[in-house]
Structure 1
């Protein structure tokens, strides 16, 4: 993983960065327990189908099965976010980040939660932290720039 993160941070090739990012996500989703993989897949399918209660149930099961699995916490946080339970999302994202501090996806999600709560400066901190790890998150960079411009009162 260290090599992937190093490559992600240093490359200027957008296509290569996208490939590296996909490998990192694949690694985060891996788990040696087939039951965990089933729970996570079920949760992701439910989340993608906007069945948030089923997704929450699946991710709860995954976290119960292995509380040290950062991606379980991250996906459950995404579900809480979609349900509008921002407090629970923040708790889960912080836990995910305690397990995998380089989880740029969790940092982006944390920024989105803070935006939803109207806490722009906390959102900016989360977005900037994600961009430090993965400088190829162009939408996140645009969001961070928009926050900075709002804070200074200048137009984009």
Structure 2
């Protein structure tokens, strides 16, 4: 079934693609953990893809820098990406990750809000927003962010555990 959801997907389909909508529906509907993981990987592929191959290369280079703990280089790569295409949600999300790793939580939060304004279903940005709030010692908005991510992707077991840990400390979500 997953193959039928992704066949014919153009590179750089981005956050507004109908096939991406179907992937989100499948992610929310399934109870099969392996299938959910596969769907989630396809969603990340959509988010990372960009119609400009040079942008995709720059994003992948920045991601590699992040994975090698070279946060300054990653930040430079993602700065370039968002400057060239400010409508690219994943560019903002990845730049937020670099800011977070460098301890610049305010910049991370601003970038995450920008990513979420472009792709409100970005469960990864919501999780990272929760982590930023935790780093700032602010459990209540962290819990809101984690719960929002889980509403989109109920298969985030570590996020669920983190939300449960916050709740066990007696933190509730005020409406």
Q: Is the counterpart of residue 40 in structure 1 residue 62 in structure 2? A: no
Describe the superposition over 1:10-57 as per-residue Cα deviations: whole angstroms up to 9, x where unpaired.
100000000000000000000010111121011011111111110000
- Which one of 166, 170, 174 corresponds to residue 147 of structure 1? 166
Q: Is the counterpart of residue 75 in structure 1 residue 94 in structure 2? A: yes
Describe the superposition over 1:67-126 as per-residue Cα deviations: whole angstroms up to 9, x where unpaired.
000000000000000000000000000000000000000000000000000000000000
Partner of 1:2: 21
Partner of 2:30: 11
Q: Which runs of 4+ in 1 moved over 3 A?
A: none
Runs (5+) with no aligned partner, structure 1: none
Q: Please tell me the root mean square deviation across aligned C-alpha atoms, in Å.
A: 0.7
TM-score of the aligned structures, taking structure 1 as reference length: 0.96
Aligned length: 152
Partner of 2:112: 93
TM-score of the aligned structures, taking structure 2 as reference length: 0.86
Which has a greater percent of helix?
1
Runs (5+) with no aligned partner, structure 2: 1-19
Aligned pairs (5 A) from 1:50-129: 50-129=69-148
Give the Å deviation of 1:60.
Answer: 0.3
The separation in 2 between residues aligned to 1:54 and 1:146, in whole angstroms, is 34
The separation in 2 between residues aligned to 1:75 and 1:142, in whole angstroms, is 24
The separation in 2 between residues aligned to 1:122 and 1:17, in whole angstroms, is 26
The separation in 2 between residues aligned to 1:2 and 1:82, in whole angstroms, is 30
